[in-house]
Structure 1
Amino acid sequence: MLIDFVPTVSGVSLAEAPGFLKAPGGAPANVAIAVTRLGGRAAFVGKLGDDEFGRMLAGILEQNGVAVDGVLFDQGARTALAFVTLRADGEREFISAHLKAMEVAKAAGALLSYDPNLRLPLWPSAEEARKQILSIWDQAEVIKVSDDELEFLTGSDKIDDESALSLWHPNLKLLLVTLGEKGCRYYTKSFRGSVDGFHVKTVDTTGAGDSFMVLFCAKW
């Protein structure tokens, strides 16, 4: 989890922004909270900085019905802060024991879904990001990638079936490719298809992929 600082005005640089609003963020937390709001059950397992922001984030999880028994506070770490810039069209730009957990979840009969949630500035290099993302690829039963992530992982600038299916592995049950305003494509072992997007006035796309995964996980 982290704290997003979102400018009060879009279409300007961080230096030009007159002010920022703080908001709880982080894809796993976004998904967990939204699942509980849709009537499901969710828990957050992870580590937060032992500071005011960390305690605030844990409190927000708990207030929204997310179990926080697995949350640890680290006195040697500070809660991450991310400054988000909004382009004029609403698109966002970020500056800024998984294997054991998967093993325990699988043993408990949980469905393992994977959203790489690629943030290249957080990695030492693009090569390292690709290597680490793919290192646990074949453990997931459901995978969701964006069109940008598909290009990054395959090295191809083509967003088509051939490119998507190059990421398929034998243990996979469903592969989802989100296409922004164009909707999404889906692939299973026996069929594939696409769903058109809804036409809405875009204000801020931050968390759009999280919301997509929320509805999928809550209704699976």
Structure 2
Amino acid sequence: MNRLYAIGEVLIDFIPLQKGCALKDVTAFERAPGGAPANVAAAAAKYGAPSSLLTKLGRDAFGDFLLEELERAGVDTAHIPRTNDANTGLAFVSLKENGERDFSFYRNPSADLLLSEEEIDPALFKAGDILHFGSVNLVDSPMKQAHRKAIRAVKAAGGLVSFDPNVRLPLWDDADSCRRAILEFLPKADLVKISDEELEFVTGIADPETALHSLLRGDVKAVVYTRGGDGAELYTANGRCVSPGYKVDVQDTTGAGDAFVGGFLFHLLKQGASPDNLTAVLEQHHGEMLRFANASGALTTTKKGAISALPTIEDIQKLMDSQHAPA
């Protein structure tokens, strides 16, 4: 199997022990490893894909903790340098009664933003590898240039590029800066995952179907549209496929979208997807891939945290068997 490389942030999520409180009213938190690219890498690794994270950590106790947790999750950490120039990033989360979240981030900058393009080795990438990234680390920083170099390198090697905008507006000076960065990088991806909460913000188009088709430009061959508990849809130039969600007891939605992406990319690697055969692989295996990804995301919401809440393949199979969600 080829390798998944996720590039971007890894941080500590401080998750409240109480639900239904505004962040200012939370009195106790528990720490959990987080950051969307790290969550995706951990999910793919847990399901059996070779998985690496490209980021940078501070030389601090939180950085030590994250390295240990990533290694425990099966993620290759050989390409994570450490720095004294910034601390490891932190995010404080408040949970609403329905498990949805609000965030407060501490990074000005955090160590991950200091990963430079000189620290990206193009020789890492091979044909059939997948590079996955989000928008959180596309703010103006050395890390933004590192993304550009990594994308060029994986494309030159014959690999796939996956992009999940994962919009986090509190991290940007203004909404327009966030949107511009997303629209600059989106056409460089072969596969785009976008949620129902992000679609109109990114595209400026109110009608979902029109908006989704507008994303099929540049190198984009497929768009995966996630709708929370209502499941997901796959759009290609040749049509649309729908896969319903699963009913679970939602405790915390942190990392659910990342668990979905990790499960989906695991299946792409399993099927030997490449830029040349991506559409054919998706058309042949979309049912299994969407069911698995939906179950992966759903089960992650039944526990607190992201990496610590990832289900096993056996648990995913049990859920798929028990609810028999058709694709």
Scaled by the length of structure 2, what TM-score is found?
0.65
**Residue 191 (str. 1) matches residue 239 (str. 2):** yes
Question: Paired residue for 1:119, among 152, 165, 168?
Answer: 168
**Residue 67 (str. 1) matches residue 76 (str. 2):** yes
2:97 and 2:47 map into 1 onto residues whose CA distance is 31
Give per-residue Cα distances to partners, 1:74-111, cap 9 Å, x unaligned.
11101111110100111112122101011122223221
1:182 and 1:29 map into 2 onto residues whose CA distance is 25
1:151 and 1:49 map into 2 onto residues whose CA distance is 36
Question: Paired residue for 2:11, among 2, 15, 18?
Answer: 2
**In structure 2, what is the equivalent of residue 107 of structure 1?**
156
**Residue 32 (str. 1) matches residue 81 (str. 2):** no
**Residue 43 (str. 1) matches residue 58 (str. 2):** no
TM-superposed deviation, 1:65: 2.1
TM-superposed deviation, 1:32: 0.9
TM-superposed deviation, 1:33: 1.2
1:163 partner SS: helix
Scaled by the length of structure 1, what TM-score is found?
0.95
2:252 partner SS: coil
Is the CA contact (8 Å cut-off) linking 2:13 and 2:31 kept in structure 1?
Answer: yes
Question: Paired residue for 2:186, among 116, 133, 137?
Answer: 137
Q: Report the identity percentage.
A: 43
- RMSD value, Cα: 1.2
2:223 and 2:246 map into 1 onto residues whose CA distance is 21
TM-superposed deviation, 1:186: 1.2
Give per-residue Cα distances to partners, 1:105-144, cap 9 Å, x unaligned.
2223221100111100001110000011111111100000
Q: Which range moves more in the overlay, 64-73 or 83-92? A: 64-73
2:65 and 2:21 map into 1 onto residues whose CA distance is 29
1:76 partner SS: coil
**Residue 57 (str. 1) matches residue 66 (str. 2):** yes
Pick the structure with more helix per residue.
2
**Residue 203 (str. 1) matches residue 212 (str. 2):** no
Which letter maps to 2:44?
V
TM-superposed deviation, 1:170: 4.1
1:108 and 1:43 map into 2 onto residues whose CA distance is 17
**In structure 1, what is the equivalent of residue 204 of structure 2?**
155
1:125 and 1:14 map into 2 onto residues whose CA distance is 22
**Residue 172 (str. 1) matches residue 220 (str. 2):** yes
Give per-residue Cα distances to partners, 1:34-78, cap 9 Å, x unaligned.
111111100111111121111211222122221112101111101
Gaps of 5+ in 2: 1-9, 106-145, 269-327
Paired positions, count = 219
Which letter maps to 1:147?
D
**In structure 2, what is the equivalent of residue 218 of structure 1?**
266
2:249 partner SS: coil
